[in-house]
Structure 1
Amino acid sequence: MSFDEPEQELSQFRRRVLVAGGFVMVCFTLLAARFAWLQVSRYDYYHTRAEDNRIALVPIVPNRGLITDRNGVVLARNYAAYTLEITPSALKNVDATIDGLAEIVEIQPKDRRRFKKILDESKNFESVPIRTRLTDEEVARLIARRFQFPGVEVNARLFRDYPNGTLASHFLGYIGRINDRDMKRIEDREEEANYRGTDHIGKTGLEQSYEAELHGITGFEEVEVDAGGRAVRLLRRTAPVAGNNLVLTVDLELQKVAEEAFGNRRGAMVAIEPGSGAVLALVSAPGFDPNLFVDGISTQDWDALNNSPDHPLINRALNSANPPGSTFKPFMALAALTTGKRTAQQVISDPGYFDFGGHRFRDDKVGGHGLVNMYQSIAQSCNTYYYKLAADMGIEQIAAFMTRFDFGSRTGIDLEGESSGVLPSPEWKKRRFKRPEQQKWYAGETISVGIGQGYNAYTPLQLAHATATLAAGGVVYKPHLVRYVEDVRSGEKRMIEPNPVADLHLKPEHLAEIRRGMVGVNLEGTGRRAFAGVPYLVAGKTGTAQVYSLRGGRYKASEVRERLRDHSLYIAYAPADAPKIALAVLVENGGFGASAAAPIARQVLDYYLLGKRAGTPAPEDADAPGDADAP
């Protein structure tokens, strides 16, 4: 054995120690560098992360703004109540938890169905209500046994309340739980932060149109929490700002009179202040109870509303476009005067029909009205007069004039979802139909347009808007339901100024002739029975709109199924010499305008002008003489 081997082994050991020591030093150097990087370079980042874990931001939902009528009567308000809520992501078995809770408080099958419906529309980490509006006794029982149900909370929530139920439901609208589509709109507006903690949003009506005003500004609490997520102390609080209040132009008592006048009939009515565009009442019958939607509507209630043949969820005032019938005639007469196609004194002979292009267009009066001037054409609702007038004017001239009254256009009312209706013209027909043979405009189609039939289709809102423009002497105001927005912080009132949007520059003498004819309607014409003994002067016009074609036959309501009977219409403004109110009434399948729509208008005008209330009169015989518009 060599004596050099111990020396070699010792040298080799020393080298290994040096390598190991160097490795350890390198490791400690790396650790020190990492420590310095984390503690110095990344201090702000990790300090913020630690604070985020220590501090929780809890949103405080603001009070939603109130909605009142013009006299301060509350239409939409808020109240606080306790809600039993479940966070599904915190539970292993949701159904078992609900069964356990049902032993403490009453949970009905409809509550379970609503819970599942909301759960399907929500994220699984959100809390979902299983019971709302708990009593104090129920809250006490739940709190006492809360430890048995992790993932279950009893929370105080604000609820929307519509104290008048179905009254004014269509223009008020309702709120509902935020869904994916709502969230997309919120994200597009970059308002996610302001909706943290908020479960509901305006879905229809004013609740939707004025969501930005009504919602308010969300507040926050900075709360220090421990490792288990339990609150330790409140660090800072930013109070929420309640939403602004809406004060409407609507008179709720007038709204009530109008809705009661409809009874069980379907239809719509819009009343407008001619000199400002302020909507005094807006009715769509039947209505619905918006309170059903606040907690999340049950499947049974939704099916009942959605599948009803009466379609209570449709706002007929804004969306139900129908032929205007004879209510179109005053505007046709004004077009004739403005364009020079007729003078007020010019007389035509009415034998009871008008032959054109090999087709006979019949008047509603067998044998005709004889010699008819413009006044008589309006008061007696002579179809033949307007058949001839339409043929003389032509569809282009008719369409050009009616466009000025916003027929076939949205009025711009402060509600979403308004229909534009149809003002027929050759250009419209080319856009509407695809096949070339369908796109051609036939001269015979113009004849039907002249009496408010054919392709004509306008909403009750458009008819009321046009009538208000007529009453205002041709000055156009945009209809609006909100009188002013009240800032809850400053008390400032932002008025909706009634600025005219257009002036049609109609000649006073022409307007006087149309007014004279419309006054004659109620003195000696088709509206005389509905307005017998009225102490004020009313300018009005009855109308009847076909639901299906008679194909040359005679209309007899008793032989037609109720849903196929003619619609009843009436337009008016009063007092005729100094208008304060203009309105349009539609009663679906109500028959002649004088028998159904005009009596409703009489009750509305009596209340607004005289403060007089009356019971709904019994409908007159649908076959009574009136203003049929059948060609």
Structure 2
Amino acid sequence: MYKRYSVKDPLQENRIFLTRVVAIFGFILLLTLGLIVRLIYLQVVGHEHYATLAKDNRIKVVPLPPTRGIIYDRKGRILAENIPSYSLELIPEQVKSLDDTLGRLQKLLNISPEDLDRFHTLRKRRKPFSSVPLLLRMSDEEVARFATVRPFFPGVDIHARLVRHYPYAELTSHVIGYVGRINEKELKSLPVAEYQGTHHVGKTGIEKYYETQLHGKTGYAEIETNAQGREVKLISAIDPVPGADLSLTLDIDLQKTAYDALESHTGAAVAIEIPSGDVLVLASRPGFDPNPFVYGISRKAYKALKQSEDQPLFDRVLRGQYPPGSTMKPFIGLAGLEYQVTDFHHKLFCPGYYKLPNVNHRYRDWKTWGHGWVDMDIAITQSCDVYFYDLAMALGIDRMHEFLSRFGFGQKTGIDLVGERSGLLPSREWKRRRKRQPWYPGETLIVGIGQGFMQATPLQLARATATLANRGQVVTPYLAKSIKTADGTAQGQQQKTTQIPLNLQNLNNIIQAMTHVVHGARGTARRLAKGIDYQIAGKTGTAQVFTVKQEEKYNAKDVHKKLRDHALFIAFAPVNDPQIAVAVVVENGGHGGSVAAPIAGKIIRQYLSERTKSHED
């Protein structure tokens, strides 16, 4: 057998070895160069960026929410404030058995299923070492009850926080409004920096309109944290700027008088100080308690409010649109005088109905047997429909629309509140656009007595009445009298006025007739004159809710309450020196003279009585 011998080639082996060494060295050199380049980038080029990241990893910026501004009435009484509220809160990581702890707390305190649902929702969003509220707005009894057993509940404690509170509840629910938790839609529109750490925002009323001023400016604190994110120490802080305080034109005493006077009725009352445009009363009844909305009203309670027949959430002052009825007659009468289509002393016979030429339909007067011979003074004093049917026909819808728009009908007043409606002042163009129909003469007659398509809000009626009393000077009603910021600077309201060119003699004639409504022997609101030593100019109104057929007769006792006529009344006083204008609408109240007028009378009496006392002092 032959043995095999391998022949080695030392030269080849050396060449292979050197090639591998060079390759490895080159690879190591390449890695080293890459490492050097990366170090240069981190230390020089990206130094500022990564230094900031490192700082953020060590320092946490915490928003410091501002204290919301206080809202006062014209005499300095608080309408919206921030009060301390006690809440029961848990730190999950410090609680050994969460289910056991929650079970024991439920036996001790009144914790509802909704409280538990909110707690678990918040717990999932927060870190285990963060405090999570379980029970909000604890009573003094609940605080005392838990304090006695506090050592047996590690990780559970009571915290004091400031919450919004409305001391007058339903009395100011629509005008002041309320704050509520920020929802997802609001979160997208609100400034992120300003609302960091803020959980509530104005939802309605003054709270919403002046949200920016009331909220203030958020501050920030830099806090050093450890690797787990726990706070170690405070490094620096920028204090928040508290929200501005608002002083309103509203008089809470008058507001209460108006609200109480409405009693069991649904309706609205507005009072405006004529020279200034200050809104003294803005009452819508029924109201609601806004306080439960601050932390979140229960589904059951909210459903009850939404489904109530009386609609307590509906603001009748701003959003209630009613046929103004006979309260339009002074304005229609003034239009007739201004356009010279009639004379103040021109007489017309009222047989109890009115007929258009060549038409059999009878447009009835409220007084079925008629008023006999009437001039404009008597027609306004006794509220004769036939007189104003005839006057409306003489004016025509175009001139009525143009004249009434001067007094703000069919337009928003511009008050500093959200959600105001404009009412409806019909015209040929409106009907053609909306109904795709021509305008008919019969519709002109109906608008002449404030019925048909025409609608007005109580606020519009009050402003138009103030304009009449102010001899044609239009003022914009407003609520915020002054805004006082944290540094003590007070900003007043800039009042805007415009003048309607009117013949003063015509105005005086209309005001004389309105004075006879209250002080005349046959005035429709003559009961209002008892016991006063000054004169009130007013006009009653009754607005139909549904149309009564030609052959039928309306009887309030035979129809459902919700189908009865609305009662209205507008007034200003004193006649020789107008200071206050009032408008009252009582839904399904019947006659303006017997239902709405006494409410206005109470407001006027109280205002003028207090004004007289303040002047004497």
Aligned residue type for 1:21: F
- Alignment-derived partner of residue 228 in structure 1: 228
- Alignment-derived partner of residue 353 in structure 2: 353
Deviations 1:438-497 (A, max 9, x none): x211111111110111111101001001001101110011110111111121x1211103
Higher Rg of the two aligned structures: 2
CA positional deviation for 1:184? 2.6
SS across alignment from 2:425: coil
2-side partners of 1:114 and 1:573: how far apart?
52
SS across alignment from 2:422: coil
- Alignment-derived partner of residue 628 in structure 1: none
- Check if 1:38 corresponds to 2:35: no
SS across alignment from 1:454: coil
Q: Say whether the 8 Å CA contact 2:91–2:155 is kept in structure 1.
A: no
Which of 3, 16, 19 is the matching residue for 1:15? 19
Cα distance, 1:101–1:534 mapped onto 2, change above 3 Å: same
- Check if 1:314 corresponds to 2:320: no
Cα distance, 1:112–1:441 mapped onto 2, change above 3 Å: farther
Aligned residue type for 1:454: G
Q: Say whether the 8 Å CA contact 1:222–1:234 is kept in structure 2.
A: yes
- Check if 1:516 corresponds to 2:515: no
CA positional deviation for 1:138? 6.8
Alignment of 1:177-188 (within 5 A): 177-186=181-190
Q: Say whether the 8 Å CA contact 2:94–2:155 is kept in structure 1.
A: no
- Alignment-derived partner of residue 453 in structure 1: 451
Q: Say whether the 8 Å CA contact 2:329–2:388 is kept in structure 1.
A: yes
Deviations 1:354-390 (A, max 9, x none): 1113311111223211111111011111111001001
Cα distance, 1:257–1:114 mapped onto 2, change above 3 Å: farther
- Alignment-derived partner of residue 496 in structure 1: 493
- Alignment-derived partner of residue 609 in structure 1: 608
CA positional deviation for 1:293? 0.5
CA positional deviation for 1:570? 0.2
Which of 450, 466, 469 is the matching residue for 1:468? 466
Cα distance, 1:49–1:144 mapped onto 2, change above 3 Å: farther
CA positional deviation for 1:111? 2.7
Deviations 1:596-625 (A, max 9, x none): 10111111111111249xxxxxxxxxxxxx
Deviations 1:86-123 (A, max 9, x none): 799999x998885465366541235346668x879x97
- Alignment-derived partner of residue 415 in structure 2: 413
Alignment of 1:363-442 (within 5 A): 363-433=365-435, 436=436, 439-442=437-440
Aligned residue type for 1:431: R
1-side partners of 2:333 and 2:370: how far apart?
19
Aligned residue type for 2:483: V
Aligned residue type for 2:30: V
The Cα RMSD (Å) is 2.7
Q: Say whether the 8 Å CA contact 2:517–2:537 is kept in structure 1.
A: yes
Cα distance, 1:529–1:62 mapped onto 2, change above 3 Å: same
- Alignment-derived partner of residue 115 in structure 2: 111
Deviates more, 1:328-337 or 1:549-558: 549-558
Aligned residue type for 2:602: Q
Aligned residue type for 1:57: V
- Alignment-derived partner of residue 621 in structure 1: none
- Check if 1:534 corresponds to 2:532: yes
Aligned residue type for 2:18: R
2-side partners of 1:291 and 1:539: how far apart?
39
2-side partners of 1:8 and 1:268: how far apart?
110
SS across alignment from 1:250: coil
1-side partners of 2:442 and 2:535: how far apart?
37
CA positional deviation for 1:6? 3.0
2-side partners of 1:308 and 1:115: how far apart?
30
Q: Give the structure-1-normalised TM-score.
A: 0.89
2-side partners of 1:389 and 1:123: how far apart?
69
Aligned residue type for 2:200: H
CA positional deviation for 1:299? 1.0
Cα distance, 1:352–1:89 mapped onto 2, change above 3 Å: farther
2-side partners of 1:197 and 1:127: how far apart?
14
- Alignment-derived partner of residue 617 in structure 1: none
- Alignment-derived partner of residue 558 in structure 1: 557
Q: Say whether the 8 Å CA contact 1:113–1:298 is kept in structure 2.
A: no
CA positional deviation for 1:3? 6.9
Q: Say whether the 8 Å CA contact 1:387–1:448 is kept in structure 2.
A: yes
Cα distance, 1:81–1:372 mapped onto 2, change above 3 Å: same
Deviations 1:288-336 (A, max 9, x none): 1111101111112101111100000010011110101110100001101
Cα distance, 1:396–1:85 mapped onto 2, change above 3 Å: farther
Q: Say whether the 8 Å CA contact 1:87–1:124 is kept in structure 2.
A: no
Cα distance, 1:36–1:442 mapped onto 2, change above 3 Å: same
Deviations 1:214-262 (A, max 9, x none): 0000111100000011111100011011000110011111111111111
SS across alignment from 1:594: helix
2-side partners of 1:174 and 1:611: how far apart?
30
Q: Say whether the 8 Å CA contact 2:67–2:215 is kept in structure 1.
A: yes
CA positional deviation for 1:48? 0.3
Any gaps of 5 or more consecutive residues in structure 2?
A: 612-617
Cα distance, 1:201–1:87 mapped onto 2, change above 3 Å: farther
2-side partners of 1:24 and 1:601: how far apart?
97
- Alignment-derived partner of residue 624 in structure 1: none
2-side partners of 1:199 and 1:459: how far apart?
34
Cα distance, 1:31–1:423 mapped onto 2, change above 3 Å: same
CA positional deviation for 1:127? 8.2
Cα distance, 1:185–1:18 mapped onto 2, change above 3 Å: closer
Q: Give the structure-2-normalised TM-score.
A: 0.91
CA positional deviation for 1:29? 2.1
Cα distance, 1:551–1:127 mapped onto 2, change above 3 Å: farther
Cα distance, 1:127–1:373 mapped onto 2, change above 3 Å: farther
Cα distance, 1:11–1:2 mapped onto 2, change above 3 Å: farther
SS across alignment from 2:318: helix
Cα distance, 1:38–1:2 mapped onto 2, change above 3 Å: same
2-side partners of 1:362 and 1:48: how far apart?
83
Aligned residue type for 1:495: G
1-side partners of 2:413 and 2:93: how far apart?
48
Any gaps of 5 or more consecutive residues in structure 1?
A: 613-631
- Alignment-derived partner of residue 203 in structure 2: 203
1-side partners of 2:455 and 2:118: how far apart?
39
Cα distance, 1:144–1:53 mapped onto 2, change above 3 Å: farther
- Alignment-derived partner of residue 600 in structure 1: 599
- Alignment-derived partner of residue 622 in structure 1: none
- Alignment-derived partner of residue 615 in structure 2: none
Cα distance, 1:341–1:145 mapped onto 2, change above 3 Å: farther
Q: Say whether the 8 Å CA contact 1:104–1:141 is kept in structure 2.
A: no
2-side partners of 1:280 and 1:98: how far apart?
50
Cα distance, 1:364–1:89 mapped onto 2, change above 3 Å: farther
Cα distance, 1:576–1:269 mapped onto 2, change above 3 Å: same
Aligned residue type for 2:87: T
1-side partners of 2:549 and 2:587: how far apart?
21
Q: Say whether the 8 Å CA contact 1:70–1:247 is kept in structure 2.
A: yes
Deviates more, 1:130-139 or 1:212-221: 130-139
Deviates more, 1:324-333 or 1:137-146: 137-146
Q: Say whether the 8 Å CA contact 1:114–1:297 is kept in structure 2.
A: no
Aligned residue type for 1:339: Y
- Alignment-derived partner of residue 76 in structure 2: 72
1-side partners of 2:266 and 2:441: how far apart?
35
- Alignment-derived partner of residue 578 in structure 2: 579
Q: Say whether the 8 Å CA contact 1:429–1:440 is kept in structure 2.
A: yes
The aligned length equals: 597
Cα distance, 1:336–1:160 mapped onto 2, change above 3 Å: same
Aligned residue type for 1:405: F
Q: Say whether the 8 Å CA contact 1:82–1:139 is kept in structure 2.
A: no
Deviations 1:498-535 (A, max 9, x none): 231x1101111111001100000011210012332322
